[in-house]
């Protein structure tokens, strides 16, 4: 009987030893899981801090880009205003050049009268300032403008110095 009790105690000891081993294995496994979770937590914390730094840098960069954009828009508006002024000035100069060309080619003063001084200049320019045969030269943009005067071959009359040279050549050849 003592032997049976001893064998029974030995079996219990063996079962408790096996349970103890199983618990030790579970404990080691849990400790391993815990340490890997801690490593992942540290890695995630590091990534989070890096993302926060990148976010701050992006915010600063976005602020700078926004300031640059506003400055560029201001410069664009200023350039647009300047371009508008330049277009107006260019149009004024073009109209003045057209009027001057009409005066020079037609012998007309700005108010539409035939110049009295024209005769004194004829000796220098060979009659370039002769009034047209019908007595009406017209200004640029007038109904007489639509008539072909033989000078332009379809080109625009406000072509500046070249036009003046063409006028003097053609008038001088008559």
From CA 19, how far away is CA 2, in angstroms rounded?
A: 25
From CA 15, how far away is CA 23, in angstroms rounded?
A: 12
Domain count, the chain: 1
Is the whole-model pTM more than 0.75? no
From CA 77, how far away is CA 69, in angstroms rounded?
A: 12
The residue range of the domain holding 94 is: 2-173
Angle, helices 2-106 vs 161-173, to 10°: value is 30
134 neighbors 159 (Cβ within 8 angstroms): no
Q: pLDDT tens digits, the chain, 174 residues: what are they?
A: 888 888 999 999 999 999 999 999 999 999 999 999 999 999 999 999 999 999 999 999 999 999 999 999 999 999 999 999 999 999 999 999 999 988 888 755 545 544 444 444 444 445 444 555 555 454 444 444 444 444 444 445 455 666 667 667 766 665
């Amino acid at each position: 009987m003592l032997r049976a009790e001893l064998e029974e105690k030995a079996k219990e000891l063996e079962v408790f030893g096996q349970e103890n081993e199983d618990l030790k294995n579970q404990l080691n496994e849990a400790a391993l899981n815990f340490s890997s979770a801690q490593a992942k937590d540290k890695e995630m914390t590091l990534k989070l801090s890096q993302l926060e730094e990148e976010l701050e840098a992006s915010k600063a960069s976005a602020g700078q880009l926004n300031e640059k954009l506003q400055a560029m828009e201001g410069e664009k508006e200023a350039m647009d205003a300047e371009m508008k002024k330049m277009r107006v000035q260019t149009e004024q100069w073009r109209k003045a050049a057209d009027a001057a060309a009409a005066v020079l080619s037609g012998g007309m003063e700005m108010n539409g009268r035939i110049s009295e001084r024209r005769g004194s200049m004829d000796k220098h320019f060979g009659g370039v300032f002769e009034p047209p045969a019908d007595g009406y030269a017209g200004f640029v943009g007038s109904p007489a403008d639509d008539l072909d005067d033989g000078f332009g071959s379809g080109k625009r009359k406000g072509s500046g110095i070249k036009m003046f040279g063409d006028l003097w050549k053609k008038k001088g050849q008559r």
